[in-house]
């Protein structure tokens, strides 16, 4: 096994590139207009991690019919068509394109807040930790962190903060509760759905509006079996990433009520988010939306087979994330070095991200590229790389 080339491994695994009719790991259209997008397995990133060349070939294939209509400053054309599809899938009146998730989250929270100056968020959330305090600095709203160190916070914590806001000498109001699911800072751990429902009920009873940072909510749905629309119905607005796993070069959609979003493109432009053309992101994301849940579920099934095979190898150990989605940790002690393992696997068409800085090994991430190789053979390749002296 150690001497096999990646093409021999792919052939041994029974991979039929020409038969891949879906937009999954090895994209090949029946009419020949779309190129095969590679054979390699990438155990990092939530999507296909397309190279510039792959993205260029993909866009060429998707636009070869001449039917794609360009947008103008992110309105109309292919962007509007994509917005309609996501609005329908999420069960919302309207969806609007944004160039980034940071801006989508910010605009949603700002638009929902009303007279409330406080926003309840997870202490581990992206909007609290990784957005440069944009909500506080640019919209003068105060973020109140809940659930320290955890993926979820509780309805009781929400009630406590609602009481605190009312009890101050100068009365303040909570305008929005923002929930992120899955939580990337917790390695893709899920916000408990039953607790999410209880939080939503408390918010509705208190007149507080709700936003879902659902950048990866389709991954959550594929993992839990809870439809994306069932997650979304608990919230006034929901943001979904277009690039993390729908493979667009950039972008996000924000979905919610028409009265909130019909004119939000003015706010988008005020913040510098009115891109002159966004059709490439819209076309690619629309393409990969079709059948995504089924493809990702198959990727997760293969990931589980891979992890179970690695768990049976005495050279390494696998640590799964509690209530997680698509991330696990592969650890071992001593030699070979993680960088050596990484280089050995790259020669076989299996790619890992940079070694962890906190343990000897790697974070492994499931995505659609797992469709490109039999998980048993993939486990053998990793095992051989670990056992070589």
pLDDT at 21 over 90: no
Give pLDDT, residue 158: 98
CATH 3.40.640.10 domain locations along the chain: 77-289
CATH 3.90.1150.10 domain locations along the chain: 6-63+291-387
User: How much is the mean pLDDT over the chain?
Assistant: 91
pLDDT at 102 over 90: yes
Quote the CA–CA distance of 51 and 38 in Å, as a whole number.
Answer: 10
Give pLDDT, residue 23: 55
Q: Residue 36 — very low, low, confident or very high, per pLDDT cuts 50/70/90? A: low
Quote the CA–CA distance of 371 and 368 in Å, as a whole number.
Answer: 6
pLDDT at 169 over 90: no
pLDDT at 32 over 80: no
The correct answer on CATH 3.40.640.10 for the domain covering 77-289 is: yes
Phi first, then psi: what are they for 104, rounded to 5°?
A: -60, -45
- Across the range 4-12, mean pLDDT stands at 38
pLDDT at 217 over 70: yes
Quote the CA–CA distance of 350 and 344 in Å, as a whole number.
Answer: 9
Of all residues in the chain, what percent carry a pLDDT higher than 70? Answer: 90
Encode pLDDT of 115-148 as tens digits. Answer: 999 999 999 999 999 999 999 999 999 999 999 9
Q: Which CATH architecture has domain 6-63+291-387?
A: Alpha-Beta Complex (3.90)
Q: Residue 168 — very low, low, confident or very high, per pLDDT cuts 50/70/90? A: confident
Angle 291-293-294 (CA atoms, 0-180°, nearest 5)? 70
């Amino acid at each position: 096994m150690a001497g096999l080339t990646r093409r021999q491994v792919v052939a041994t695994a029974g991979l039929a590139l020409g038969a891949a009719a879906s937009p999954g790991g090895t994209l090949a259209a029946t009419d020949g207009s779309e190129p095969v997008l590679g054979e390699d397995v990438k155990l990092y990133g939530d999507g296909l991690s397309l190279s510039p060349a792959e993205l260029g070939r993909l866009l060429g294939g998707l636009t070869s019919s001449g039917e794609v209509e360009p947008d103008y400053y992110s309105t109309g054309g292919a962007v509007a068509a994509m917005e309609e599809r996501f609005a329908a899938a999420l069960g919302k009146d309207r969806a609007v394109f944004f160039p980034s998730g940071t801006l989508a989250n910010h605009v949603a929270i700002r638009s929902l807040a009303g007279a409330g100056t406080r926003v309840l968020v997870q202490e581990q959330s992206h909007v609290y930790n990784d957005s440069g305090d944009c909500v506080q600095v640019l919209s003068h709203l105060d973020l109140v962190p809940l659930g320290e160190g955890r993926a979820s916070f509780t309805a009781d914590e929400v009630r406590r903060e609602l009481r605190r806001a009312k009890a101050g000498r100068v009365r303040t109001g909570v305008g929005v509760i923002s929930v992120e699911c899955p939580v990337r800072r917790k390695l893709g751990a899920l916000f408990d759905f039953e607790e999410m429902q209880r939080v939503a009920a408390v918010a509705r009873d208190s007149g507080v509006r709700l936003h879902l940072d659902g950048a990866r909510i389709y991954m959550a749905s594929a993992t839990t079996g809870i439809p994306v629309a069932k997650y979304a119905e608990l919230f006034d607005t929901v943001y979904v990433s277009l690039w993390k796993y729908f493979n667009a070069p950039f972008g996000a959609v924000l979905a919610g009520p028409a009265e909130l979003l019909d004119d939000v493109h003015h706010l988008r432009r005020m913040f510098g988010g009115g891109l002159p053309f966004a059709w490439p992101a819209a076309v690619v994301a629309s393409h990969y939306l079709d059948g995504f849940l089924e493809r990702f579920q198959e990727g997760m099934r293969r990931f589980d087979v891979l992890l179970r095979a690695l768990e049976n190898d005495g050279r390494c150990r696998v640590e799964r994330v509690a209530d997680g989605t698509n991330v696990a940790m592969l650890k071992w002690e001593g030699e070979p070095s993680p960088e050596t393992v990484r280089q050995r696997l790259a020669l076989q068409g299996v790619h890992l991200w940079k070694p962890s800085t906190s343990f000897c090994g790697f974070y492994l991430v499931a995505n659609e590229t797992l469709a490109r190789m039999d998980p048993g053979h993939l486990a053998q390749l990793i095992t051989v790389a670990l056992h070589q002296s």
